[in-house]
Amino acid sequence: MHPMLKPALRRAWRGSGTVQFGVTPAHAVKVGPMDIATGCFLELLDGTRGMSLLRAEARALDLNDHQVDTIVARLMDAGLVDDVRAGGPEADALRSRADVLERHRPDLASLSVVHPEPGGGLRRLAARRSMRVQVRGAGRVGAAIAAVLSGSGVGRVEVLDGGCAEPCDVSPGGLPASAVGERRDSAARQLVRRSFPGPAPRSVQPVAGHAGGEPGLSLIVVAPRDGLTGYVPDPRTAEPWIASGTPHLYAGVIEATGFVGPLVLPGGTACAGCLDLNRRDRDQQWPRMLAQWQSGRRTAVQACDLGLATAVAGLAASHALAFLDGELPASTGARWEAALPLLDWRSEQIGAHVGCSCGAGGHTEGVRTSGAGTAHDTMAG
């Protein structure tokens, strides 16, 4: 092990005997009591020394081997130490690509803060490169989500959409102006390739199943250009995903209202069918209105403000990445909404309906992910 204090967390002395790592309450940690010798020892934790060399150099500070091991263990328990050689073979392969790793420095720093175990950040970053995600929609929201996922290291990002790109599809984080007139799916694939750090990932053609050794989908992000089909998703469209156990996340903008969620874990959290049944229970006129909205003439231009679309795309991509990294984001079984002009994000928990065939009714409690780390003492409590 070559321990290194996580550089993403700023360090400051609170007094003569306590050091605080981090600024924000969510990740700040106080460590003490701390004497001068221990404070000097912290400067040695830069990832260039193994434990044997650390013990040897610490003797000059009058710290014995037991004290060194205790200090390092305490810092590890607090989530403050990284191991520059940990992470496994995939992480080693990523370390060998200095140009790619340099692009990912901010992502890696963020992951090291979120995941406390040594090497956890690089391990997750490397794991993303073997994942396959499908984004349904290549408008202002969907294309930007695909670009962010690819730029964040997800190795295989498919984008499904029809027709040709129009001027209203163009956005700074999505399709460029040069894509107008091109097929949306083709333009989105080019965007994904340009966004990926390093050599372009191997092209993946959309497939219905997992035949031919193709890896299964880790996640489907549903972000259609028509916000109604994302806000009020058709349960029939999601039936194959429920049957195959494929997680899927809804996101989009409708009538100047942005939304992210729900993230559906088939059989564990509420699905599109649950959402529909819950609405029918609350409002007897809902089926009548929905039929009119779906069969009526669509508006020529969606009320999809560029700033709001970009915010939704960023939030949706962050939720997707958190899930891919082994966590359960706040959109799991819930929907987050914000409407212009106030943009006050609010969440609505979506309960699984006992009458839905997805089987999630009564099974929403206790959903966990295997990648969740143990809690540690922070200022957040």
DSSP string, 59-92: GGGT--HHHHHHHHHHHHHTT-EEETT-S-HHHH
Asked whether residue 92 is assigned to any structural domain, the reply reads no
Structure tokens at 157: 């990002």
Asked whether residue 118 is assigned to any structural domain, the reply reads no
249 and 157, same domain (yes or no): yes
The β-bridge partners of 133 are 157, 219
Asked whether residue 11 is assigned to any structural domain, the reply reads yes
Q: Which amino acid is at 381?
A: G
Number of domains comprising the chain: 2
Residue 294's pLDDT is 86
Residue 353's pLDDT is 95
- Domain of 19, CATH number, reads 3.90.930.60
**H runs (alpha helix) in 78-139:** 89-95, 98-103, 105-114, 120-128
169 and 231, same domain (yes or no): yes
The per-residue pLDDT for range 258-311, each reduced to its tens digit, is 999 999 999 999 999 999 999 999 999 999 999 988 886 666 678 999 999 999
Residue 215's pLDDT is 73
Asked whether residue 204 is assigned to any structural domain, the reply reads yes
Residue 214's pLDDT is 66
Residue 203's pLDDT is 44
Residue 30's pLDDT is 94
The per-residue pLDDT for range 304-342, each reduced to its tens digit, is 999 999 999 999 999 999 999 999 999 999 999 999 999
**Residue 117 φ/ψ, nearest 5 degrees:** -70, 145
Domain that holds residue 329: 129-349
Euclidean distance between CA atoms 181 and 1, whole angstroms:
54
The β-bridge partners of 220 are 134, 248
Q: Measure the CA dihedral 255/260/266/271, to 10°.
A: -30
Could you give the 3-state DSSP secondary structure of residue 196? coil
Report the alpha-carbon angle 100-5-91, nearest 5. 30
190 and 328, same domain (yes or no): yes
Asked whether residue 139 is assigned to any structural domain, the reply reads yes
The per-residue pLDDT for range 13-26, each reduced to its tens digit, is 998 889 999 999 99
Stated as kind and residue range, the H or E segment containing 272 is: helix 272-282
Q: Which residues of the chain have pLDDT under 70?
A: 200-214, 296-300, 362-381
47 and 160, same domain (yes or no): no
136 and 264, same domain (yes or no): yes
Residue 301's pLDDT is 74
